[in-house]
Amino acid sequence: MKRPKNKNPTTTPGEYYHTYEESFYWYFNFFEDDDDYYSWLDYVHEVLYILSRVYVVFSFIQFFINIFHMTVLTRRELRTNLVYQVMIAICIGETAQAFVTMFDEFLTWNIFYKVELWCGYPYFHLVIRRLAISSQFLSRRFSAFLGLYIAAVRAFSVIFPMSAITHKITKPNSGFMVMSVIAIASTAWSSFQFLQTSIEKVTKYCTYNRPSYVPYLLLNNEKLVDKFNYADSCISLVVSTLYVFVALALVVELQRTKKRRKNLRSEKPNNTTKLVVVMAATVFVSESFYGLLRYIAFHTFAGYEEQPLIQQFADRMQLLVMASSIAHCVICYCMSSQYRDTLKKMIGVGKEDKTVKIVIVETTTHPTTVNSSKSSSKPAY
């Protein structure tokens, strides 16, 4: 289903121009005529539009749920644990990305200004949109690498629990340094994509009426952006492959630990490892589909009209990341007793422990012994 781009179009930009011979040659009679092809193309655009609206709705849901989720994670009982510290960092990145997307959507609601042209927007609006696009790459790389990091740390600590390296890498200071490096690298990577886009002034209006604002368009350096997307897809596929090995190591060691505890008649479950495995699985699915679609768009559909469509479908794979982010709060509640107890304590649910503890303070003049009482003034014999 590939159709080559027309390098020398005889029609105006935005119109399609292909002969029936070209369609027959490239489609092997899959479409009987161009009308079938354009009907299929309209259907694909409709699906992409629906996915784009779902993406906006998910951004609103993700923002408010992550705010609540982050409120729980930052409690004193959780924030000292490395796993929850990484989850806090992931929450911050995803919440920031959702906020920028929400703000970009707000600007189209005629609240801050009235949209008068479909072919041009005010400069400040395109700056926000530019940041929203770049924040997707930032959030994706940041979340994927942090998820891989905590899965690798957990796998190493489970396999080598008594190692000195395990003690060192599970310290909060080590985790903070790794998270800082990942944040800087992800920001630099998304900044490269940000610099490949430019905001240009519209010189020819798409309507006869002059707008009240100066219209601008967001343009891409197509060659560099395609190379960037291809490199990003390769990173996603490499990360997905690493996730498979780390998850397998965790699952195998989890089964061994389960057998050992069964032999020792210990039924204490290792829910932290299971939580990390679930997080790794959700990120693996998203990264795999995203990387595969980007790779196909660059290699199989390079130079064809369908390439932008495949790339847009790849961008919509961010929905899987957002869905897993929305579900993290529920997953943590179901799989982590520590998270569950902290949440209940925060919202005041559950019975308070009213046990009164009596502390007897010893003094040098009157030490408390087995044969002495609190009310006596002399040792008892």
pLDDT at position 265 is 59
- For residues 85 and 178, the answer to whether their CB atoms sit within 8 Å is no
pTM: 0.73
Q: Which of 17-21, 91-95, 199-203, 218-222 has the lowest mean pLDDT?
A: 17-21
The more confidently predicted of residues 10 and 87 is: 87
Question: What domains are defined for the chain?
Answer: 31-346 (1.20.1070.10)
Q: The tokens 């897993």 sit on which residue?
A: 324
> Which of 283, 243, 237, 245 is CA-nearest to residue 143?
283
| pLDDT one-digit tens code per residue, 179-234 | 999 999 999 999 988 888 888 887 776 666 777 788 888 888 878 888 888 888 88
Which residues, 6+ apart, have CB-to-CB distance to 356 below 8 Å? none
Please provide residue 219's backbone torsions phi and psi, each rounded to the nearest 5 degrees: -115, 150
> Which of 229, 238, 64, 253 is CA-nearest to residue 148?
238
| pLDDT one-digit tens code per residue, 149-186 | 888 888 888 788 788 888 888 888 888 899 999 999 99
pLDDT at position 182 is 93
